[in-house]
Structure 1
Amino acid sequence: MILWAALLMSYCCLGMNGAAAKSTGLERIEKCGTRCSQGLHCKTKPGYLVSPPCQNAVVGLNMSFVFHNISLSTVMSCEGRQKCSLHLRIKTVLQLNESIHGLSICTVTAGMMVNCQTFSFTRSSRERMSGLQVEVENDCTDVSPNQQVQVMVKTVPSYCGITWTGTYDAPQCISKDLRRHVPECITGRLSYDVNPERKELTVSVSDMLENHNYHLRLCYKDFICFGTGASALIKKEEPVKNTTLLYSRPLPCLCIEGWSAVVDAPRVQVCPFKDRLEELWFGATFDPVEKILSWEPVCPVTSVVTLCQKKEEGVCVDLPHASQNVSRGKITFTEVDPHPQLCIKFTAGSHSWTRCPFADGRFQAWEMEVTRQQDHEEVRMMSQISATFSVGLCVKSAGPAVCQITKTHTVHVETNKAVGLKLAEELCNSCVQVKRLDVKYAATVIHCLAQCNQSSPLTAVIASRTSGGLTWVVLLVGVCLSGLIMVTLVLHVLLTVYQKRKQKRNGNEKQIDPALDCVVPALQIHLLGGILIPDSSQCGNTEKANFITA
Structure 2
Amino acid sequence: MILWAALVMSHWCLGLSGAAGLERIEGCGTRCSQGLHCKNKPDSLFPPPCQTPAEGLDTSSVFHNISLSPVMRCEGKQKCSLHLSIKTKLQLHESVHGVSICTMATGMMGNCRIVSFTRASRERMSGQQVELENDCTDLSPGQQVRVTVKTVPSYCGITWTTTYEAPGCVREDLRRHVPECITGRLSYDVNPQKRELSVRVSDMLEDYSYHLRLCRRKDFICAGTGVNKLIKKEDPVKSVILPYARPLPCLCIEGWSTVMDAPRVQVCPFTDRLEELWSEITFDPLAGTLSWEPACPVAAVVSLCQEREDGGCVDLPHASQNVSREKMTFTEVDPHPQLCMKFTAGSQSWTKCPFANGRFQAWEIVVTRKQDHEDVQMSSQINATFSVGLCVKSEGSAGCQVTETHTVHVEKRKAVGLNLAGELCGSCLQVMRLDVKFAATVNHCLKECDPSTAVEPVISRQASWDLTWVVVPAGVCLSGIIIITLVLHALLTIYQRRKQERNGDCSSEKQTGPSFECVVPAFPSQPVLHRGVLIPDALQYGNTEKANLISN
- Normalised by the length of structure 1, the TM-score is 0.79
Q: Which residue of 2 aligns with 1:295?
A: 292
**Which residue pairs with 1:330 in the alignment?**
327
Q: Which residue of 2 aligns with 1:71?
A: 67
SS in 2 for 1:82: coil
Q: 1:20: how far off?
A: 2.6
Letter in 2 for 1:386: N
1:38 matched to which residue of 2?
Answer: 34
Equivalence for 1:229: 226
The residue type equivalent to 1:63 in the other structure is T
Q: 2:371, 2:458 within 8 Å by CA — same for their partners in 1?
A: no
> Do the aligned residues in 1 keep the contact of 2:209 with 2:232 (CA within 8 Å)?
yes
Q: Secondary structure at the match of 2:279?
A: coil
Quote the residue 1:48 is aligned against.
44
1:198 alignment counterpart: 194
Distance 1:334 1:246 in 2: 37
Distance of aligned partners of 1:465 and 1:88 in 2 relative to their CA distance in 1, 3 Å threshold:
closer
Assess, with a 3 A threshold, how the Cα gap between structure 1 residues 444 and 73 changes in structure 2: closer, same or farther.
same
Distance in 2 of aligned mates of 1:317 and 1:77:
65
The residue aligned with 1:61 is 57
Aligned pair partner of 2:182 in 186, 191, 196: 186
Aligned with 1:152 (options 145, 148, 151): 148
- State the alpha-carbon separation in 2 of the partners of residues 51 and 215 from structure 1: 48
Distance 1:417 1:39, change over 3 A: same
Corresponding residue for residue 455 of structure 1: 450
Aligned partner letter, 2:300 = S
Q: Partners in 2 of 1:460 and 1:293 — Cα distance?
A: 47
Counterpart of 1:369 in structure 2 is 366
- Deviation of 1:428 (Å): 4.2
Task: Letter of the 2:208 partner, please give it.
Answer: H
Shift of 1:463: 10
Which range moved further: 204-213 or 418-427?
418-427
Partner of 2:419: 422
Aligned to 2:264: 267
Deviations 1:350-409, CA, capped at 9 Å, x for gaps: 001111111111111100111122354221100011100000011112233111111000
Deviations along 1:64-95, whole A, 9 cap, x unmatched? 11111110000001000000000000001111
Deviation at 1:22, TM superposition (A): 7.2
Note the residue ranges of structure 1 that are not aligned, 5 or more in a row.
1-15, 468-550
For 1:130, the equivalent position in structure 2 comes to 126
- Other-structure match for 2:407: 410
CA distance 1:43–1:280, shift in 2 (3 Å): same
Query: What runs of 5+ residues in structure 2 fail to find an aligned partner?
Result: 1-11, 463-552
Counterpart of 1:386 in structure 2 is 383
1:303–1:462 distance in 2 versus 1, CA, 3 Å: closer
- Paired residue type of 2:451: S
Matches for 1:238-249 after TM superposition, within 5 Å = 238-249=235-246
Structure 1 vs Structure 2: percent identity of aligned residues?
70
My pick for the range that moved more, 375-384 or 273-282, is: 375-384
Distance (Å, rounded) in 1 between the aligned partners of 2:165 and 2:126:
34
Q: 2-side partners of 1:218 and 1:23: how far apart?
A: 32
The aligned residue for residue 309 of structure 1 is: 306
Find the aligned partners of 1:271 and 1:198 in 2 and give their Cα distance.
18
1:19 deviation in Å?
A: 9.8
Partner of 1:517: none
Q: CA deviation digits over 1:27-62, x for unaligned, max 9?
A: 011111100011111111220231110001111001
Change (3 A) 1:380 1:90: same
1:81 aligned partner, one-letter code: K
Shift of 1:328: 0.3
| Equivalent-residue separation in structure 1 for 2:173 and 2:457 (angstroms) | 93
1:145, 1:170 within 8 Å by CA — same for their partners in 2? yes
Paired position in structure 1 for 2:468: none
- Number of aligned residues: 451
Cα drift, residue 306 of structure 1: 0.6
- Name the SS of the counterpart of 1:281 in structure 2: helix
Q: Provide the C-alpha distance between the structure 2 equivalents of 1:197 and 1:36, rounded to a whole number of angstroms.
A: 67
Give 1:395's aligned residue: 392
Alpha carbons of structure 1 residues 176 and 350: separation in structure 2 relative to 1, 3 Å: same
Give the Cα–Cα distance (whole angstroms) in 1 for the partners of residues 198 and 44 of structure 2: 57
